[in-house]
């Protein structure tokens, strides 16, 4: 089901890009006679595309601000992290294209002053964002690695948050170095806005391309719980909430995981916020009553 972020994203998204097989350090071909990308549609003019993208990400970030003011940290993380992962993915793609055009001695050196600098790291900020997968595919296409690009495009296109109108940023390849630097700086400024409100906690885990799907995540969660691997189960429950806090069962799963790891503070936080959003949830209400009964038993709760 397309959620609210997908609705926002679909307002402005159809872009135009293309392919090239130049090696890193070479100047990219600027022949515009064939702007059709293997990712899908090409648009005649994409001059306002990145501006629209950044406007949408600022709007999503504003949802994070509002839910943070309501003291709903899990919900606010959903919005902040989605905006962060998406913005960082575009910024890294712009830097990568600049490097392909001959800027910087190495990609690592050229991106050293940026916050997040590889696809796996950026994806972990929020696995629901299709942009790390899409932009990694786009850059493979730019380098002539079409089969690998198509696989990543296919992965991105099945994500819930992938805009229904499709994506095509291929025109970035034809932008001047000066324009790309300006865009890079604008995106860094937007990252600063987002990450001043929210700083992701990353583990460096290997990128599982199915982690955008909360149903898949919860299937793994159940296997881990059955195996009594509660610490890892809690990590997956957290990811389920980060990619979709609108799934009621994910809240009780996260709270149960925290109980089994004896992280009582985290369990209480999931119960409180979960009941704010889903006040009738039987499991969360049962866990809340269990906490109340335990507190009464040691004299810490009075009616």
pLDDT of residue 165: 82
Rounded to the nearest integer, the mean pLDDT of the chain is 85
Q: How far apart are CA 84 and CA 193, in angstroms?
A: 9
This prediction has a pTM of 0.83
pLDDT of residue 19: 30
Reply yes or no on whether the pLDDT at 265 is more than 90: yes
pLDDT in tens, 66-109: 999 999 999 999 999 999 999 999 999 999 999 999 999 999 99
- What are 105's two structure tokens? 């001695």
More reliable by pLDDT, 134 or 26:
134
Reply yes or no on whether the pLDDT at 118 is more than 70: yes
pLDDT of residue 154: 95
Using H for helix, E for strand and C for coil, what is the string for the chain? CCCHHHHHHCCCCCCCCCCCECCCCCCCCCCCCCCCCCCCCCCCCCCCHHHHHHHHHHHHHHHHHHHHHCCCHHHHHHHHHHHHHHHHHHHHHHHHHHHHCCCCCCHHHHCCCCCCCCHHHHHHHCCCCCHHHHHHHHHHHHECCHHHHHHHHHHHHCCCCCCCCCCCCHHHHHCCHHHHHHHHHHHHHHHHHHHHHCCCCCCCCCCCCCCCCHHHHHHHHHHHHHCCCHHHHHHHHHHHHHHCCCCHHHHHHHHHHHHHCCCHHHHHHHHHHHHHHCCCCHHHHHHHHHHHHHHHHCCCCCC
Among 281, 62, 80, 41, smallest CA distance to 200 is for 80
pLDDT in tens, 27-38: 344 444 344 444
Domain boundaries defined on the chain: 4-197, 214-297
pLDDT in tens, 2-47: 344 443 443 333 233 233 333 333 334 444 434 444 444 434 344 4
Percent of residues, the chain, with pLDDT higher than 90: 75
Among 248, 242, 251, smallest CA distance to 270 is for 251
Domain boundaries 214-297, corresponding CATH code: 1.25.40.10
Flag the least confident range among 28-42, 123-137, 143-157, 275-289: 28-42
pLDDT in tens, 55-70: 999 999 999 999 999 9
């Amino acid at each position: 089901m397309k959620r609210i972020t997908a609705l926002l994203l679909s307002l402005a998204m159809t872009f135009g890009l293309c392919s090239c097989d130049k090696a890193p350090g070479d100047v990219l071909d600027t022949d515009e006679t064939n702007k059709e990308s293997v990712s899908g549609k090409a648009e005649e003019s994409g001059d306002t595309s990145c501006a629209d993208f950044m406007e949408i990400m600022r709007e999503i970030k504003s949802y994070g601000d509002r839910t943070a003011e309501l003291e709903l940290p899990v919900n606010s993380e959903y919005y902040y992290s989605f905006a962060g992962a998406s913005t960082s993915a575009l910024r890294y793609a712009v830097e990568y294209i600049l490097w392909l055009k001959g800027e910087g001695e190495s990609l690592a050196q050229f991106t050293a002053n940026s916050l997040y600098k590889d696809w796996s790291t950026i994806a972990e900020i929020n696995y629901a964002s299709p942009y790390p997968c899409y932009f990694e595919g786009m850059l493979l296409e730019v380098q002539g690695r079409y089969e690998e690009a198509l696989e990543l495009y296919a992965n991105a296109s099945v994500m819930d948050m992938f805009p229904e109108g499709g994506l095509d940023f291929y025109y970035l390849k034809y932008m001047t170095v000066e324009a790309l630097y300006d865009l890079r700086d604008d995106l860094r400024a937007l990252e600063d806005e987002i990450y001043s409100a929210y700083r992701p906690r990353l583990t460096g885990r290997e990128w599982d391309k199915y982690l955008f799907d909360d149903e898949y995540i919860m299937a793994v969660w159940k296997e881990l719980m059955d195996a009594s691997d509660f610490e890892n189960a809690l990590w997956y429950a957290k990811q389920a909430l980060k990619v979709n806090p609108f799934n009621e069962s994910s809240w009780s799963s996260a709270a149960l995981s925290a109980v089994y790891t004896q992280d009582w503070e985290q369990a209480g936080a999931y119960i409180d916020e979960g009941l704010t959003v889903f006040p009738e949830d039987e499991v969360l209400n049962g866990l809340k009553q269990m906490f109340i009964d335990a507190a009464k038993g040691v004299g810490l709760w009075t009616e």
